[in-house]
Copies of this chain bind each other. A is one copy, B any other.
Amino acid sequence: MILALTGGTGGAKLVQGLAAEIDPADLTIICNTADDAIFHGLYVSPDIDTIVYTLAGLNDEQKGWGLAGETFVGLEQLRRLGEEVWFKLGDKDLATHILRTALLQQGLTLSEATRRIRSALGVKSEILPMSDDRIESRIVTANGEISFQEYFVRERWTPEVKRVFFAGIDQSKPAPRVLQAISKAAGIIICPSNPITSIGPILAVPGIRQALRDASARVLAVSPIVARAAITGPAHTLMMAHDLEPSVTGIAKAYADLLDLLIVDPEDQSLQSEIEKLGVKPVSADIRMNSLANKQRLARQVLALLLK
């Protein structure tokens, strides 16, 4: 079994490549849930949904988020009803959130609700939330504290970030099967997701980081950063706020205690010796995943490095 730790967008591309290269039933994914949020009373889990939609082949490749062929009739009506609707929930997507909220209300865990949803959509890979407990990324800005979605979607990551913390994380537990998946995996991949707000919360759930250090499988990360710029999103800014240099070296530092291999872009060749000094083996590969062929090629390289 191959295990991937991931956030949404960037990570989903590699996950898609992996699921195309191996039997999807042999792929387990641990998802960040610290970006989860309640909108209009509905429990939204953006990273889980991105992974589920991507593996179900329902994602919108053009937009890079949400479902293909999505409409926004319900959201427009919510606006008319006086709701703030800056988080773009499409009509199909709302169905997921309605069902998930109902299942949670009935007493199911987020793990159980996720299993039900991904199974209904024909996804064979196991998708585990990092935790069934509520954990929330809080972004401390110069103008006060906001949620991740407020920072990322509503404010389009413009506020100056002082630091990020994960409310509820100290009391949280890994979801069932998470630690087992880490110890049983034949190879572990940290996807090219934001190290602070996507992978950071997963590693901060008590027990997960240590399990990764103790894992018998190799741990490989794919850098979300090329030549000191995040491929997408605010990784650069958030890393700086946490005294991590916004480069592949910063990525290596973030994971050094548990990482064996780090795939970096050829543009970052000059930083390979810095990475080696951290005890991580750098491997150069084209990490831009702008086509399915690219995703599969990178997935093949990752799998070869992990399993050889």
Q: Which residues of B contact A41 (CB under 8 A)?
A: 98-99, 101-103, 105-106
A78 CB within 8 Å of chain B:
yes
Residues 278-305 of A contacting B (Cβ, < 8 Å): none
Contact present for B116 and A82 (CB under 8 Å): yes
A1 CB within 8 Å of chain B:
no
Contact present for A81 and B40 (CB under 8 Å): no
Q: Which residues of B contact A92 (CB under 8 A)?
A: 73-74, 76-77
Alpha-carbon separation in the docked complex, A265 to B137 (Å) = 65
A241 CB within 8 Å of chain B:
no
The number of times this chain is found in the oligomer is: 2
Contact present for A91 and B120 (CB under 8 Å): no
A232 CB within 8 Å of chain B:
no
A269 CB within 8 Å of chain B:
no
Contact present for B74 and A98 (CB under 8 Å): yes
Contact present for B102 and A74 (CB under 8 Å): no
Given A74-B91, A92-B74, A95-B74, is A81 in contact with B42 using a C-beta cutoff of 8 Å? no
- Measured CB to CB, the closest approach of chain B to A97, in angstroms, equals 9
Q: Which residues of B contact A78 (CB under 8 A)?
A: 95, 98-99
Q: Which residues of B contact A95 (CB under 8 A)?
A: 74-75, 77-78, 80-81
Alpha-carbon separation in the docked complex, A77 to B95 (Å) = 6
A121 CB within 8 Å of chain B:
yes
Residues 63-119 of A contacting B (Cβ, < 8 Å): 71, 73-78, 80-83, 90-92, 94-96, 98-99, 101-103, 105-106, 116-117
Alpha-carbon separation in the docked complex, A81 to B91 (Å) = 13
Chain A window 109-140, contacts with chain B (Cβ cutoff 8 Å), 1 for yes, 0 for no = 00000001100110000000000000000000
Contact present for A71 and B91 (CB under 8 Å): yes
Contact present for B117 and A91 (CB under 8 Å): no
Contact present for B73 and A120 (CB under 8 Å): no
Alpha-carbon separation in the docked complex, A119 to B91 (Å) = 24
- Measured CB to CB, the closest approach of chain B to A74, in angstroms, equals 4
Given A80-B120, A101-B41, A105-B41, is A94 in contact with B94 using a C-beta cutoff of 8 Å? yes
- Closest B residue to A104 by CB, please name it: B41
Between-chain CB contacts (< 8 Å), 17 pairs: A40-B98, A40-B99, A41-B98, A41-B103, A42-B98, A71-B71, A71-B91, A73-B91, A73-B92, A74-B74, A77-B91, A77-B92, A78-B99, A80-B95, A81-B95, A81-B99, A81-B121
Closest A-B pairs by Cβ, 7 of them: A41-B102, A77-B95, A73-B91, A77-B92, A74-B91, A82-B120, A78-B95
Q: Which residues of A contact B (CB under 8 A)?
A: 40-42, 71, 73-78, 80-83, 90-92, 94-96, 98-99, 101-103, 105-106, 116-117, 120-121
